[in-house]
């Protein structure tokens, strides 16, 4: 194992005039106005293409409108919206005029939005629909700097276009010329999985550098062979912002903006993406849906065998072992009967899936790799403009999150913490100099808070979070994530949180997955109308989960094993503060909200 690593290759030199907006104008200069750059869903199975020229014209019109509204360079402007074409247009328009975009998750409450807008001194806000407009309007009087709220579905972009007729091309170009690579581009408020959200200040250079280097490292996915991206992750998240920029910056990439996932599978079939970006839960649901659709009969048995054969195939491939003639023949059979159908659920042209934002099950990664759909695993933080490392198509080592971008560096501290350095590392937290100082080491490396190892080829293996480590009453240090990942493989489990800090043994809280339950219950002679509180104590449900608890326990010592688990009759949600907007579990909130269950059901009132 290594204690430091720098990916071979020189860091990309970012010119002083390279900005987020220049990613668009550079593409326009390279490939012309007529290439398709984006698509907007206009009805079931119907998409409206947008050319590079049309997209740029709308960005220019919006940028002129912003100037006419009095938005100066450095002014903060909020976008409070689901993922949609207009989000992208506004994002590039704000970058063009040197404004600072302050995205707010479309699920955030009015008080959360108020706090963010006041902290960043937002002067103008865009909301996509009436409901979110009203949310902002309800706190407008408590936001002294906020002058105006415009509604996208109320023709906000049309209004900007009308106002912008008073602004000449020369005036716009003069403004664009003042924006530099090191200027602040956006303040992105972290999800707050470990406390109150902090505003991460990211420059144009942060995003441009990672967009260029990551696109080159993953050129097969992002640049080659007419790439098409269906984007449904929230653009308030850096992960989605980055991949939007990568698609826009490519020569002929097309990004399809999808506001919600209510009809995701039909949308995948109609848009025909070549790659997808998602959190692990998205791909777990696709797998579980395929498994449940197969049922419990001969089709179900076939799927189980095919899935295991895919994982075996992938593991042998990773180990550099040759496949036997029997395995090759078996794979050909499963390709026709199973694999093609599973891949097809993600669209007829799908080639790659990229996953990040949370730990990924090794079994799931091997399954997708084994059916011929490589799963690129990425690693990053808001503070690194999303991705910092990723596995490569030609070096997709499952169980790692790959290597950093060329020229970027990683190291492991004496305490086992992963620390990083590179051009995409943020400049600090907004209005929080003490927190900024805490985030960096004395010699300028960003502390990630993640425990990790670096293998001999520079691949990063994440082993846990420093703050997540549980210390039992007996003094045993336990990393909860491996246990949680194993238990969460249970098809009817949505989330698992391991508990036991300063307790006599390790326990776990489990929530049930409603979608999977709807398929699982009839197959086990149970009604889909059974109340969740009865399911939480149902013997068959607990037996199903216990199998996966046993598998998890088999990987650790007895002192680290889960001795007792409680099935909750409610879910982790953003409303009860147990999930962030990016769907990460907030461990402290879970411990607080379900303290009574932990105390009385798991530990019987004993400390």
234: DSSP letter: -
Highest mean pLDDT among 325-329, 354-358, 403-407: 325-329
Give the span between the Cα atoms of 210 and 388, in whole angstroms. Answer: 8
Mean pLDDT of 326-339: 95
Do 418 and 448 contact (CB within 8 A), yes or no?
A: yes
Mean pLDDT of 210-216: 94
- Residue 390, Cβ neighbours under 10 Å: how many? 27
DSSP string across 283-338: HHHHHHHHHHHH-SSHHHHHHHHHHHHHHHHHHHHHHTPPPPHHHHHHHHHHIIII
- Give the pLDDT confidence score for residue 358 in this predicted structure: 75
Share of the chain above pLDDT 90, in %: 79
pLDDT of 83 > 80? The answer is yes
What's the chain's Rg over C-alpha atoms? 25
Question: Which pLDDT band, with edges at 50, 70 and 90, does 192 fall under?
Answer: low
Instruction: Supply φ then ψ for residue 372, to 5 degrees.
Output: 90, 25
Do 386 and 241 contact (CB within 8 A), yes or no?
A: yes
Query: For residues 1 and 205, which has the higher predicted lDDT (pLDDT)?
Result: 205
- pLDDT tens for 572-584 read 998 898 998 878 8
Q: Which residues contact 460 (CB under 8 A, 6 or more apart)?
A: 379, 389, 400, 401, 402, 403, 404, 410, 418, 452, 453, 454
Give the span between the Cα atoms of 221 and 85, in whole angstroms. Answer: 22
Give the span between the Cα atoms of 201 and 413, in whole angstroms. Answer: 25
Do 465 and 12 contact (CB within 8 A), yes or no?
A: no
Do 603 and 503 contact (CB within 8 A), yes or no?
A: yes
Do 586 and 497 contact (CB within 8 A), yes or no?
A: no
> How far is C-alpha 449 from the chain's CA centre?
18
Long-range contacts of 316-320 (CB under 8 A, 24+ apart): 317/369, 317/370, 318/366, 318/369, 318/397, 318/398
Mean pLDDT of 199-212: 97
Mean pLDDT of 114-132: 97
Question: Which pLDDT band, with edges at 50, 70 and 90, does 196 fall under?
Answer: confident
pLDDT of 193 > 70? The answer is no
Question: Which pLDDT band, with edges at 50, 70 and 90, does 411 fall under?
Answer: very high
- pLDDT tens for 353-397 read 999 877 788 999 999 999 999 999 999 999 999 899 999 999 999
Mapped onto helix, strand or coil, the DSSP state of residue 275 is: strand
- Residue 597, Cβ neighbours under 10 Å: how many? 18
Q: Which residues contact 531 (CB under 8 A, 6 or more apart)?
A: none
Mean pLDDT of 102-114: 93
- Give the pLDDT confidence score for residue 606 in this predicted structure: 63
Mean pLDDT of 259-278: 93
Domains of the chain as residue ranges with CATH: 20-179+226-273 (3.40.50.12780), 280-466 (3.40.50.12780), 469-602 (3.30.300.30)
Query: For residues 406 and 409, which has the higher predicted lDDT (pLDDT)?
Result: 409
- Give the pLDDT confidence score for residue 413 in this predicted structure: 95
- pLDDT tens for 477-496 read 888 988 999 999 999 999 99
- pLDDT tens for 591-604 read 999 999 999 999 98
Mean pLDDT of 470-474: 86
pLDDT of 607 > 60? The answer is no
- Give the pLDDT confidence score for residue 407 in this predicted structure: 83
What's the whole-model pTM score? 0.87
């Amino acid at each position: 194992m290594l204690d430091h690593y720098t990916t071979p290759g020189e860091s990309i030199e970012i010119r002083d005039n390279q900005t987020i907006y220049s990613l668009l104008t550079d593409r326009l200069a390279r490939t012309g106005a007529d290439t398709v750059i984006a698509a907007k869903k206009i009805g079931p199975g119907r998409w409206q293409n947008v050319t590079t020229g049309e997209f740029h014209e709308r960005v220019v019109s919006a940028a002129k409108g912003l100037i006419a509204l009095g938005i100066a360079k450095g002014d903060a402007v909020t976008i409070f919206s689901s993922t949609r074409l207009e989000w992208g247009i506004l994002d590039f328009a704000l970058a063009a005029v040197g404004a600072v975009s302050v995205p707010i998750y479309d699920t955030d409450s009015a008080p959360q939005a108020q706090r963010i807008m006041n902290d960043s001194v937002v002067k103008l806000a865009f909301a996509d629909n009436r409901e979110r407009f009203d949310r902002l309007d309800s706190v407008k009087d408590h936001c002294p700097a906020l002058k105006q709220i415009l509604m996208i579905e109320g023709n906000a972009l049309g209004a900007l276009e009308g106002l912008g007729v008073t602004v000449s091309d020369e005036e716009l170009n003069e403004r664009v010329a003042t924006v530099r690579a090191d200027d602040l581009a956006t303040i992105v408020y972290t999800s707050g999985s470990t406390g109150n959200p902090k505003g991460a200040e990211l420059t144009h250079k942060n995003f441009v550098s990672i967009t260029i280097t990551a696109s080159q490292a993953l050129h097969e996915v992002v640049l080659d062979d007419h790439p098409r991206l269906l984007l449904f992750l929230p653009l308030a998240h850096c992960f989605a912002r980055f991949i939007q920029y990568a698609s826009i910056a490519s020569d002929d990439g097309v990004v399809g903006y999808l506001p919600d996932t209510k009809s995701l599978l039909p949308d995948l079939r109609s848009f025909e993406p070549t790659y997808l970006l998602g959190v692990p839960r998205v791909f777990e649901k696709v797998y579980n849906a395929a498994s449940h659709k197969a049922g419990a009969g001969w089709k179900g048995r076939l799927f189980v065998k095919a899935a295991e054969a895919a994982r075996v195939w992938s593991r042998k491939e990773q180990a550099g072992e040759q496949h036997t003639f029997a395995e090759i023949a078996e794979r050909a059979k499963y390709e026709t009967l199973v694999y093609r159908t599973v891949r097809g659920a993600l669209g007829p042209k799908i080639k790659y899936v990229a996953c990040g934002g949370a730990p990924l099950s090794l079994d799931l990664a091997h399954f997708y790799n084994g059916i011929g759909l490589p799963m690129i695993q990425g690693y990053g933080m808001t503070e690194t403009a999303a991705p910092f490392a990723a596995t490569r198509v030609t070096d997709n080592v499952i169980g790692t999150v790959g290597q950093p971008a060329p020229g970027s560096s990683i190291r492991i501290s004496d305490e086992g913490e992963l620390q990083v350095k590179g051009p995409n590392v943020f400049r600090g937290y907004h209005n929080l100099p003490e927190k900024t100082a805490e985030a960096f080491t004395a010699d300028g490396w960003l502390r990630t808070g993640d425990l990790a190892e670096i293998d001999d080829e520079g691949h990063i293996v994440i082993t846990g979070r420093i703050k997540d480590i549980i210390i039992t009453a007996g003094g045993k240090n336990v990393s909860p994530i491996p246990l949680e990942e194993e238990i969460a493989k249970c098809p009817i489990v949505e989330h698992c949180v391991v508990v036991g800090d300063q307790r006599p043994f390790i326990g776990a809280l489990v929530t049930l997955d409603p979608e999977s339950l709807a398929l699982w219950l009839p197959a086990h002679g149970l009604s889909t109308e059974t109340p969740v509180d009865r399911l939480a104590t149902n013997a068959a449900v607990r037996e199903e989960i216990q199998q996966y608890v046993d598998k998890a326990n088999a990987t650790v010592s007895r002192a680290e094993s889960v001795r007792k688990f409680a099935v909750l009759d409610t879910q982790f949600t953003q409303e009860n503060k147990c999930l962030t907007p990016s769907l990460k579990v907030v461990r402290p909130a879970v411990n607080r909200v379900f303290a009574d269950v932990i105390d009385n059901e798991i530990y019987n009132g004993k400390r």
